[in-house]
Amino acid sequence: MKKLLFGIAILLLLGYGWNELKSAGSEENKVVVREGTAAAWEGAESEKPGAGRQMMLEIDPGEIYKGDLLLINSRHPVPKGAKLPDVVNLFERPELAEGIGILDDSVELPPELLSRFVEMIKAAETDGVDRFLITSGYRSVEKQAELYDKMGADYANPPGHSEHNLGLALDVGSALGLMKEAPEGKWLERNAWKYGFVLRYPENKTEITGVKHEPWHFRYVGLPHSAIMQKMDFVLEEYVDYLKEQGQIQAKVDGTAYVVSYYAVKGKRSLSIPIAGSYFLSGNNMDGVIVTTWGSDASGAKEAGPL
Asked whether residue 123 carries a pLDDT value surpassing 90, the answer given is: yes
Residue 296 confidence (pLDDT): 55
* Mean residue pLDDT across the chain: 82
Per the residue annotation, which of 214, 237, 245, 303 is the catalytic one?
214
Least confident of 33-47, 268-282, 291-305: 33-47
Residue 276 confidence (pLDDT): 64
Is 159:141 a contact under the CB 8 Å cutoff? yes
Split at pLDDT 50, 70, 90, the class of 21 is very low
Helix, strand, coil tally for the chain in percent (to 5): 30, 25, 45
pLDDT tens for 279-293 read: 999 999 999 999 999
In terms of average pLDDT, the best of 4-13, 23-32, 184-193, 252-261 is 184-193
Question: Distance between CA atoms of 291 and 147, rounded to whole angstroms?
Answer: 34
Least confident of 79-83, 113-117, 215-219, 274-278: 274-278
167 Ramachandran zone, left/alpha/beta (phi>0; psi -120 to 50): left
Which residues make Cβ contacts (< 8 Å) with residue 249, sequence separation at least 6? 31, 32, 33, 34, 228, 242, 243, 259, 260
Instruction: Tell me if residue 108 is catalytic.
Output: no
Is 234:284 a contact under the CB 8 Å cutoff? no
- 61 alpha-carbon distance from chain centroid: 21
pLDDT tens for 83-120 read: 889 999 999 999 999 999 999 999 999 999 999 999 99
Strand 277-283 with 288-295, pairing: antiparallel
